[in-house]
Amino acid sequence: MGFPMAGHLSRNQGIEVYVFNRTKAVSSKWIKQHTGNQITSFDSLSIKFDGVITCLKDDAAISSFLLKSEVVNSIKTNGFILDHSTTSLDLVDLISNNQEILSKKISFYDAPVSGGEAGAINGALSVMLGGPNKKLSKIKPVMNAYAKSITHIGSSGHGQLTKMVNQLCIASLIQGLSEGALLGIKSDLNMSKVLEAISGGAAQSWQMDNRFKTMVKGEFDFGFAVDLMIKDLNIALEHSRKLNLDLDTSKSILHKYKKLSNLGEGQLDTSSLIKLLK
C-alpha cells in the first residue's frame, strides 16, 4: 500500500519525499521509479521532517518503528505523525501518550484507509481520520495526493474504530457474495448476466463491482490478504467484547478466514472465502 501512496505523494511539487522501508530493496526499487530520497537508517539522521507517514502491517511493526528507533527524534517540534495502518486502540493510546511525542508537541493521527491495493495505485483511497483538529489544514493536502475522500471522524482512536466498522461490514458482504455466487454457479446460471442483473439493484456494493467476476472465475490475487483480515477482525471483535457485544456473524466469518489461513491460503485476497463453500 505504502509504495504507490508514496509514489503519488512524490508528484506533489510542494513536498519533498523521503522513503524508508525495513527491507532496503523495497525502498531502493521505489527510488528507481519515483522522485524522492531514500533513508536507510534514522540513527544520527541530520534531517528534521515536518511529519512522518506510516503504513505498516500491525501493532508490533508500528510500535517498533515509531517508539523503538530514532524516528521521533527526526520529526520537528510541532510536527505530525500520520499512521495509515490498521491497529488496535491500545496502540493509538500508547503513541498518543508517549512522553517524547508529547514533549515535542507532535500531533498523532490514526488514519486507516479503505480501497485496497487498487485504491492505493489509483490514488483513490478513503481515509478514516482520528486525531486533533489543529493540523488538519496541513495534513489534508498531503493525503489528497492518494485519497479520494478524507473524513475526520473525531478524536484519537476514532479512525481505528471506524475501520473496525468497515472491516466487519466487508467481511459480511464477502460471505454473502460467496453464498450468492455459489448458488448461481451450481444452478448453471450465466454469471455475467447475473451480475448485470443484480448490480444495479439493492445488492450492489464495491465488493460486488470489483470482486464478483473474479470470485466466479476463482481468481484471488487482488491485494488485501486473508491474514490481514484475520488481524483486523480480531481487533474489532476484541473491542466488541469490551462493549458486551456478541457479534456471531463476524465471529463465524473470522473462523472461516482462520480455516483458509490454516490451509495455506493466508496470502490470497479476502474474496477467497468462497473457496470454503466449493
Domains and CATH numbers, the chain: 2-155 (3.40.50.720), 161-277 (1.10.1040.10)
Residues of the chain with pLDDT under 50: none
DSSP state of 79: E
DSSP 8-state code for residue 65: H
pLDDT at site 263: 97
Q: What is the pLDDT of residue 43?
A: 87
Predicted confidence at residue 222, as pLDDT, reads 87
pLDDT averaged over every residue in the chain:
95
Q: What's the CA gap between 125 and 121, in Å, rounded?
A: 9
Q: What is the pLDDT of residue 7?
A: 96
Q: Which of 9, 17, 55 is nearest to 38 (CA)?
A: 17
Catalytic member of 48, 104, 163, 231? 163
- Which backbone phi and psi does 193 adopt, to 5 degrees? -70, -35
125 contacts 86 by C-beta, under 8 angstroms: no
Query: 54 is written with which cell numbers?
Result: 506510516
Spell out the residues 6+ positions from residue 23 whose beta carbon is closer than 8 angstroms to its own. none
Distance CA 155, CA 151 (A): 12
Question: What pLDDT score does 269 carry?
Answer: 95
Distance CA 245, CA 176 (A): 22
The answer to whether the CB of 178 falls within 8 A of the CB of 252 is: no
Q: Which cell goes with 69?
A: 528507533
Task: Please tell me whether the overall predicted TM-score, pTM, comes out greater than 0.85 for this model.
Answer: yes
32 is a catalytic site residue: no
What cell was used for 31? Answer: 527510488
Where do the H-state alpha helices sit in the chain? 2-10, 24-33, 59-67, 89-96, 99-103, 116-122, 136-143, 158-186, 191-198, 206-217, 226-242, 248-260, 274-277
Measured CA distances, 127 to 44, 207, 219, 242 (Å)? 33, 18, 27, 25
Angle between helices 158-186 and 89-96 (to 10 degrees): 160
pLDDT in tens, 49-74: 999 999 999 999 999 999 988 999 99
Block residue for cell numbers 519525499: 17
Q: Which residues on adjacent β-strands are paired with residue 109?
A: 82
Q: What is the pLDDT of residue 44?
A: 80
Rounded Cα gap, residues 208 and 188, in angstroms: 19
